[in-house]
Amino acid sequence: MTIVAGEGAAVFDDSGHRYVDALASLWFCQVGHGRAEIADAVRAQLETLEAFHTFDMFTNEPAERFCERIAELAPMAGARVFLVNSGSEAVDSALKLARLSSSLRGEPDRQLIVSRRHAYHGVTYGGMSVQGLPANQEGFGELVPGICTVDHNELDDLQQVFADHGPHIAAVITEPVMGAGGVHPPPEGYLAVLHELCDRHGALMIMDEVVCGFGRLGQWWGSDRFGVQPDLVTFAKGCTSGYQPLGGVIVGTRVRELIEADPSFVLRTGHTYSGHPASCTAGLANIDIIERENLLARAHRIGSMLGPALSALVDEGLAVQARGQEGIWALQLDEATPAADIRDRMLRGGVIARPLGSSTIALCPPLVIGDEDINLIIGALRDAIEARH
């Protein structure tokens, strides 16, 4: 399918058919499609300064302003921001910063990274190695060493890893609500205990907010929603709503102080386009829209409609489980109902949803979606499943 245009929560194919974008493209389009305001801002920036690197002594105004805005919004006080171009690069940078912190603290043996089953953290070697989805790791050879995956729900499993390896754990990486791995909200209290274990054992907490950041859970960050203050936060996707590629790591004081303690220390990591002014300009315009249109509140509205509708399908025996919170949801189908078939039927009903694995349909629409389009998603999903039963 060739998508040629978009407007609000909908996109259009090359035959002119309209589809409700029920996954915000790939979990990223918070402010909706077709925002001339962002395109205009990016164009003006490209005409002024298309790009200049941010290595050595150099910086540019949009990158400075974007980092300031992110630091103000950050879920932890006193943060600085390290910019990259994607979620995978953000995850790899956070992992490197975590291990670097161990080295700078004089604890070179503290290298272990703990992650959770079902987690998705991207496709570069670091992000691929820490994700908890073995199918995505098959065939790519040796993974990054020093990684340990625990059950995604069982606190006992996490506690055991800290009991066995506490002094060697550099960091735990987790999403607030797991997204691409099937939409799994954390059990009640799980993230608070995880944070407490990290603190007690001298490990860092990395919150991967690539999907949950920028209002997906009704607050700027999933960390805010779950009341935890991580040491490192990764973001991408919703930070520009996709109008330009951009990502970053919010670096809290524990890591900052180690890196900044020696003024002659050089942080030897970064990408050619880190701090790209056009991307940062898109990010600033995107944040303005989220604030001005109060889009954080829209996540709650999405949840108040999708949640009960998905639960009703489960109650009627048409699906196995509804999972999600606020603006991010998944419906687990029974084994006789392949998710790809439901996706195809929903397409014919004018809705683009995403199958995850063989039996889950994910929904994560742009935050600007109106009630009418939410009802179109619900109707197309119900029709698709009923047609199979």
Ligand X SMILES: Cc1ncc(COP(=O)(O)O)c(C=O)c1O
Q: Does 208 bind ligand X (CB under 6 A)?
A: yes
Q: Which is nearer to ligand X, 110 or 243 (CB)?
A: 243
What character string, x for contact with ligand X (CB under 6 A) and - otherwise, covers 175-194? x---xx--------------
- Least distance (Å) from ligand X to the CB of residue 362? 11
Rounded Cα distance between 173 and 87, Å, is 13
Q: Does 241 bind ligand X (CB under 6 A)?
A: no
H/E element, 113: strand 112-116
Per-residue burial over 279-291, b = 16 or more CB atoms within 10 Å of its CB, e = otherwise:
bbbbbbbbbebbe
- Least distance (Å) from ligand X to the CB of residue 245? 8
Q: Does 217 bind ligand X (CB under 6 A)?
A: no
Cβ contact 136:119 at 8 Å: no
Please, what's the largest Cα pairwise distance for the chain? 67
Q: Which is nearer to ligand X, 237 or 382 (CB)?
A: 237
Which residues is 12 bridged to in the sheet? Answer: 5, 18
* Token duo for residue 242: 């996709």
Q: How far is residue 373 CA from its own chain's centroid? A: 23
Rounded Cα distance between 349 and 20, Å, is 9
Angle at CA 218, nearest 5°, toward 32 and 113? 100
Q: Which is nearer to ligand X, 128 or 318 (CB)?
A: 128
CA neighbor of 293 nearest in space, from 11, 26, 30: 30
Restricted to residues 145-164, the positions that interact with ligand X (CB under 6 A) are: none
Binder of ligand X out of 19, 66, 82, 120 (CB under 6 A)? 120
Rounded Cα distance between 124 and 119, Å, is 14
What character string, x for contact with ligand X (CB under 6 A) and - otherwise, covers 74-103? ------------xxx--x------------
The DSSP symbol for 186 reads P
What character string, x for contact with ligand X (CB under 6 A) and - otherwise, covers 39-78? ----------------------------------------
DSSP H stretches of helix in the chain: 24-27, 36-48, 61-73, 87-104, 125-130, 155-165, 190-201, 222-226, 253-260, 277-292, 295-315, 339-348, 371-388
- Least distance (Å) from ligand X to the CB of residue 138? 18
- Least distance (Å) from ligand X to the CB of residue 315? 30
- Least distance (Å) from ligand X to the CB of residue 178? 8
Restricted to residues 308-327, the positions that interact with ligand X (CB under 6 A) are: none
CA neighbor of 231 nearest in space, from 217, 250, 247: 250
Which stretch in 105-113, 117-125, 150-158, 330-338 sits in contact with ligand X by CB under 6 A? 117-125
The DSSP symbol for 370 reads -
- Least distance (Å) from ligand X to the CB of residue 109? 27
Rounded Cα distance between 124 and 255, Å, is 23
Q: Does 243 bind ligand X (CB under 6 A)?
A: no
Binder of ligand X out of 10, 133, 236, 319 (CB under 6 A)? 236
Q: Which is nearer to ligand X, 35 or 121 (CB)?
A: 121
Which stretch in 29-37, 172-180, 303-311, 344-352 sits in contact with ligand X by CB under 6 A? 172-180
Which stretch in 31-39, 194-202, 205-213, 315-323 sits in contact with ligand X by CB under 6 A? 205-213
What is the end-to-end Cα distance of the chain in Å, rounded? 27
Q: Which is nearer to ligand X, 62 or 176 (CB)?
A: 176
Rounded Cα distance between 248 and 241, Å, is 14
Q: Which is nearer to ligand X, 349 or 366 (CB)?
A: 366
Restricted to residues 19-38, the positions that interact with ligand X (CB under 6 A) are: 27
Which residues is 178 bridged to in the sheet? Answer: 184
- Least distance (Å) from ligand X to the CB of residue 352? 16
Binding site for ligand X (CB under 6 A): 27, 86-88, 91, 120-122, 127, 175, 179-180, 208, 210-211, 236
